[in-house]
Chains A and B, each alone.
Chain A
Amino acid sequence: MQILLNGGGFDAPESATILLLLESVGLAPARVAVEVNGRIVPRDEYHRLHLHEQDRVEIVRFVGGG
């Protein structure tokens, strides 16, 4: 299933949840914020929100440099 991840094409597992997507890109849920189609997703939906073909997903990574 093709989604748009941070502006680029990404082949995600069929109807993957946010949690599965984060796992597949190696990011821990506690350290990111996720927006799907313009809506920020509450953390407690990560395990049950399923993605669809062509969804626009933005993963914001928490960084600590400065």
Chain B
Amino acid sequence: MTSDDTRRERSTPPAAAADIPARYSRQVLFEGLGAEGQARLIAARAVLVGCGALGTVQASLLARAGVGTLRIIDRDFVEESNLQRQILFDEQDVRDVLPKAVAAERKLRAVNSLVQVEGVVDDLNPSTIGRLLDGFDLILDATDNFDARFLINDYAVKNGVPWVYGACVGSYGLTFPVLPGETACLRCVFESAPPAGLSPSCDTAGVLGPIVGIIASLQCAEAIKILAGRRQAITRKMQVIDIWEGRQDLIDLPPRDPQCPCCGRGVYEYLQGAAGSDSVRLCGRDSVQINRRDGAKLDLAEVARRLGPLAKVEVNRFLLRADIDAYRLTVFADGRAIIGGTTDASVARSLYARYIGT
């Protein structure tokens, strides 16, 4: 037993099986967890960054497993092409143009009313990360881009919070846990992200539902071990799978690199990017996201009235959608917008300025 296990044992009194809700009986029967492990899951807090393909699987598994508090952060809304693999969503969510975090929260409430699920419609970036991730025991990676992963890595290492990297494209995927101070961090393993446009993404190379399910499930297995305090059971390796080629490999993580900017030298370059770009091209989609950093809230009804004569406008409680010429503007109440129909940030910025405001 590690000192960490001992510490947790003291802080969480072993639960009697009788105190555990019956719905978790099959998990409690599992030798590795038992009533005491389940009690820890119930007391645990996990945050999922992203609620797309990986995130919907993770959210479903962890809510069902009884992880007591789940925050699900996503900046996007449900679209038809998501339904092939994003297992929490349905056609009605597409028709309602629901933000993914909102749709996921609703579904999960019906799945397990004993867990606290909080969907947050927001964008993870250096200025929001502190407020979005503070106070959780574990961070699960369900993002769709490299920068967000390096940002999570910086935050997790700096604050000593474990996180589980997972990603896939096509039929290929990989995952490994990052235990700050113990195992290699993301930047020890991969030095940098491919330049935009050079790496295949789900939207250019496609992705198969089963690889997403596998990688997300493997991430959840590690999450359950970490949250239940079963640190000796953690797979401290890279799990690499290609379901088309039928290959599965367990590959050692490199040792921690003393020269690693993040976990070796403590230089958190991605966290420090607070003054960075206000626009970001969305992974492989024909769209650009515009962030608003002044914190000003938009009155969506007012914007809808203003755009009414110019565009086909739909509005719900969470967002406004306007089709103008060949562009589709999706605007959230926090001022953030996704400009569809272009990958050019300057075009997107000028559309935003013209129709939404500066």
CA distance A30 to B99 in the complex (A): 35
User: For the complex, is B161 an interface residue (Cβ under 8 Å from A)?
Assistant: no
B45-66 residues at the A interface, CB under 8 angstroms: 50, 52-55
> Closest residue to A30 on the B side, CB-wise?
B191
CA distance A7 to B172 in the complex (A): 14
Smallest beta-carbon distance A58→chain B, Å: 6
> What A residues does B53 contact at CB under 8 A?
65-66
> Closest residue to A29 on the B side, CB-wise?
B191
B238-253 residues at the A interface, CB under 8 angstroms: 238, 240, 245, 247, 249, 251-253
B128-180 residues at the A interface, CB under 8 angstroms: 141-146, 149, 166-169, 172-174
> Closest residue to A6 on the B side, CB-wise?
B247
Let me know if B191 and A7 touch, CB within 8 A: no
Let me know if A60 and B144 touch, CB within 8 A: no
CA distance A63 to B199 in the complex (A): 8
Let me know if A66 and B191 touch, CB within 8 A: no
Interface of A, helix, strand, loop or mixed by DSSP: mixed
> What A residues does B55 contact at CB under 8 A?
66
Binds A, one of B200-208, B228-236, B329-337, B345-353: B200-208
CA distance A61 to B146 in the complex (A): 13
User: For the complex, is B189 an interface residue (Cβ under 8 Å from A)?
Assistant: yes
Let me know if A35 and B251 touch, CB within 8 A: yes
Let me know if A66 and B168 touch, CB within 8 A: yes
Determine the interface band of chain B, counting residues with CB < 8 A from chain A: 35 or more
> What A residues does B50 contact at CB under 8 A?
66
A38-52 residues at the B interface, CB under 8 angstroms: 38-40, 42-43
> What A residues does B253 contact at CB under 8 A?
40
Smallest beta-carbon distance A32→chain B, Å: 7
User: For the complex, is B212 an interface residue (Cβ under 8 Å from A)?
Assistant: yes
Let me know if B240 and A60 touch, CB within 8 A: yes
Let me know if B251 and A60 touch, CB within 8 A: yes
> Closest residue to B141 on the A side, CB-wise?
A66
CA distance A61 to B173 in the complex (A): 9
Q: When each residue 11-30 of chain A gets 1 if its CB lies under 8 Å from chain B and 0 otherwise, what string results?
A: 00000000000000000111
> Closest residue to B202 on the A side, CB-wise?
A65
Let me know if A62 and B252 touch, CB within 8 A: no
Smallest beta-carbon distance B211→chain A, Å: 9
User: For the complex, is A1 an interface residue (Cβ under 8 Å from B)?
Assistant: no
Smallest beta-carbon distance A61→chain B, Å: 7
Centre residue among A30, A43, A64 by max chain B CB count within 10 A: A64
Q: Which residues of B pack against A, CB within 8 Å?
A: 50, 52-55, 141-146, 149, 166-169, 172-174, 189-194, 199-202, 205, 207, 212, 215, 238, 240, 245, 247, 249, 251-255, 257, 283
Those 3 A-B pairs whose CB atoms lie nearest each other, nearest first: A30-B191, A65-B169, A65-B202
Q: Can you give 22 A-B contacts (C-beta < 8 A)? A: A30-B190, A30-B192, A33-B189, A35-B252, A38-B252, A39-B252, A40-B254, A43-B254, A58-B240, A61-B174, A62-B146, A63-B167, A63-B172, A63-B174, A63-B199, A64-B145, A64-B149, A65-B201, A66-B141, A66-B144, A66-B166, A66-B168
Q: Which residues of A pack against B, CB within 8 Å?
A: 6-7, 28-33, 35, 38-40, 42-43, 58, 60-66
For the A-B complex with A33-B189, A58-B240, A60-B174 known, give 9 more contacts whose Cβ atoms are closer than 8 Å: A30-B191, A31-B191, A43-B254, A43-B257, A60-B251, A63-B173, A64-B169, A66-B52, A66-B142
